[in-house]
Structure 1
Amino acid sequence: MFVGFEPVAGALVPFAYDWPMVGLSFLISVCGAYVGLRWSRRVRQPDGRLDIDRLLCASVALGGGAVWSMHFIGMVAYQTPTHREFGLFTTLASLLVVMVLAGAGLAVASRPRGSRTANVVQGGVLTGLGVVAMHYTGMAAIRSNTRFDWDLAIIGLSVVIAVVVSVVALWLAITVKTGGKQLAAALVMGVAVCGMHYTGMSAGTMICTSPTYAPSLFAIEGDSIGYAVFGLSLITLLVILVVEATRTGAAAMARTRDIA
C-alpha cells in the first residue's frame, strides 16, 4: 500500500483509510447515539431533579459510545506505514473528559428553569468543548516516530462543527421521544459526529521524525484493537439498552396498575 516510503526525518507520512473500519466507526456512533437518546428521554424527574442513573447511562452511551468509540476506531482506520501505539493514560483521559462533559451538557440542557433554547445552546457548547478536548487529547495519545503539523484553520472548523453537532444532539436528546424518531436522530448524529472526527483528522499532517520507534510502557496497540473496542462498546451499549427497556417497561406496568 505504501510502496516507496522511506521513514526518514522530515518525510511526509502517507496515509490511507481502512474503509470497513470507517464503517464500524459510523455504526458504533449511531448505536451509541440511539441508546443515549433513549436514556435521555426522562433525565429529569417530574419535580425537576436529575435522575442520576439516567444521566450516567446517557453520558456513557453518548460520550463513550457515540463519540469516543467512534473517534478511537476512526483513528485505527487511519492507516500509515509507520508504527503506532496509543498511550494508555492519555487515551483513558480522553474517554473520561468526554463522558463528564457530555453528562454536564445534558444536565444543563435539560434544566427545567430558563429558556429551553438557551439551556440547549449552553449545554451544547459545554459538550462540544468536551468533544474537542477528547479528540485532540486522543490524537496526542498517539505514540510514533512522527509528529503532527497542524492546520489551525481546519482545527477551528472542527471546533465549530463539534459545538454545532453537540447543540443539535442535545436538542434531539430532550425533544425526541418516539422510537422511530430516535433512530432517525441517531443516524443524523452518527453522520455529524463522523463529520467532526474526520474533519479534525484532516487538520493534521504527519511528519516523520526518525527512522524507527521504540515501544513505550502502558500503550495500547495491536492489529485487532479497533475490532476489540467496537465489540466491547457494542456489548456495553446492549447491556445499557436492555436495562433501559426493562426499566421503562416496569414503569409502564406500574402506571397501568395505578390507573386500574
Structure 2
Amino acid sequence: MGHLDHATFGWLTPVLSYVMACIGAALGLRCTVRALGASGRSRRNWLLTAASAIGTGIWTMHFVAMLGFSVSGTDIRYNVPLTMLSLLVAMVVVGAGVFAVGYGRDRGRALVLGGLTTGLGVASMHYLGMAALRLHGDVTYDPVLVGISVLIAVVAATAALWAALNIKAPIAVAVASLVMGGAVSSMHYTGMIAVGVRVSPSGDLLPGATAMQFIFPLAVGLGSYLFLTSAFVALSPTAGEREASASAQRPVESAAR
C-alpha cells in the first residue's frame, strides 16, 4: 500500500479549502434567502447565483484540499475533462437542490428534497473529482466510510438550508455557512480516509495534467469569482432597502413640486 499524505503543505491546504467552502456556502445561502424575497426573473437569477456559488465553493474546496494530497511511490495527475465535468455536476445538482427550495410549495418537503439533492451534489462532485485521479496503482474505497461521507453531506446541506431559511439574523447565515463549510470539509476528508492506494511503481508517463498546471490556476480563478460575487451581493440593496429608499424619495419629489 502506498502511504497517503492528505496535508503535504501542512495546515495550509485544509484551512484554505475550509475557508473557500465557507465563502461559497455563505454566498449561496445569502442568495437563496434573497431569491425567496424576490419573484419572476429576479428570483431565478438569485437561485442561479446561489447554485454557482455553492458549486464553485465545494469544487474549489475539494481541489485546494487535493493540492495537499500525495501518495508515496507515484506521481499524481488529473484527467482534465473529468475534472471539468465534476465542476459542472456540482453546479447542476446543487442548482436542482436550490431551485427545489426556491420554488417548493410545501416548505418542509422542499427543504428535505433540496437538502438531499444538494448533499448528493456535494458527494457526486467529490467522487467524480476522485475518479479524475491518475496514478501508478489501484485506488480502493472503504464502502462504509464512503456511505458516512455521503450522509454527512446530505445532513449538513439540509441543516444549512434550514438555518438560512428560518433564522433571519445575519449572524445565523454566518453560522450556517460555517457549518456547511465544515460539513463539506469533513465530508471531503472522510471520503479521503476511505481511500486506499495499492501502488505499482512504473516509469511510464501518466496521462493528464499536474495539479499546479491545471487545478491551481482554475482554483484561483474560481476563488476570485466567489470574492467578486460576494462583494456584489453584499453591496446590492435588498427589497426592503429599495422600498425604504423609494418611500424616502417620494416626499422630496412632492415638496419639489
Pick one of 230, 233, 245 that aligns with 1:256. 245
After the TM superposition, list the runs of 4 or more consecutive aligned residues in structure 1 that deviate by more than 6 angstroms: none
TM-score (norm 1): 0.85
The one-letter code sitting in structure 2 at the alignment partner of 1:186 is: S
**Structure 1 unaligned runs (5+)?**
1-11
Measured in 2, the distance between the counterparts of 1:128 and 1:72 equals 18
Deviation at 1:195, TM superposition (A): 0.7
TM-score (norm 2): 0.86
- Show the counterpart of 2:45: 53
- Show the counterpart of 2:29: 37
Matched, 1:212 2:203: yes
- After the TM superposition, which residues 174-189 of structure 1 pair with which residues of structure 2 at under 5 Å, given as runs? 174-189=165-180
Pick one of 82, 89, 92 that aligns with 2:81. 89
- Show the counterpart of 1:24: 16
- For the structure 1 residues 224 and 191, does the alpha-carbon distance in structure 2 shift closer, same or farther, using more than 3 Å as the test? farther
Deviation at 1:35, TM superposition (A): 1.4
Measured in 1, the distance between the counterparts of 2:170 and 2:215 equals 29
Matched, 1:198 2:189: yes
Measured in 2, the distance between the counterparts of 1:27 and 1:225 equals 21
- Show the counterpart of 1:167: 158
**Structure 2 unaligned runs (5+)?**
251-257
Point out the structure with the larger helix share.
2
Residues 20 and 61, structure 2, Cα contact 8 Å, conserved in 1: yes
Q: Deviations over 1:182-216 (max 9, x none)?
A: 22222121111111110011111011134234132
Pick one of 237, 247, 256 that aligns with 2:236. 247
Measured in 2, the distance between the counterparts of 1:58 and 1:36 equals 4
Measured in 2, the distance between the counterparts of 1:119 and 1:143 equals 38
Identical-pair percentage: 33
Measured in 2, the distance between the counterparts of 1:175 and 1:103 equals 20
- Show the counterpart of 1:118: 109
- For the structure 1 residues 212 and 175, does the alpha-carbon distance in structure 2 shift closer, same or farther, using more than 3 Å as the test? farther
Residues 63 and 215, structure 2, Cα contact 8 Å, conserved in 1: yes
- Matched residue count: 245
The one-letter code sitting in structure 1 at the alignment partner of 2:223 is: L
Residues 70 and 76, structure 2, Cα contact 8 Å, conserved in 1: no
Residues 56 and 226, structure 2, Cα contact 8 Å, conserved in 1: no
- Show the counterpart of 2:253: none
- Show the counterpart of 1:3: none
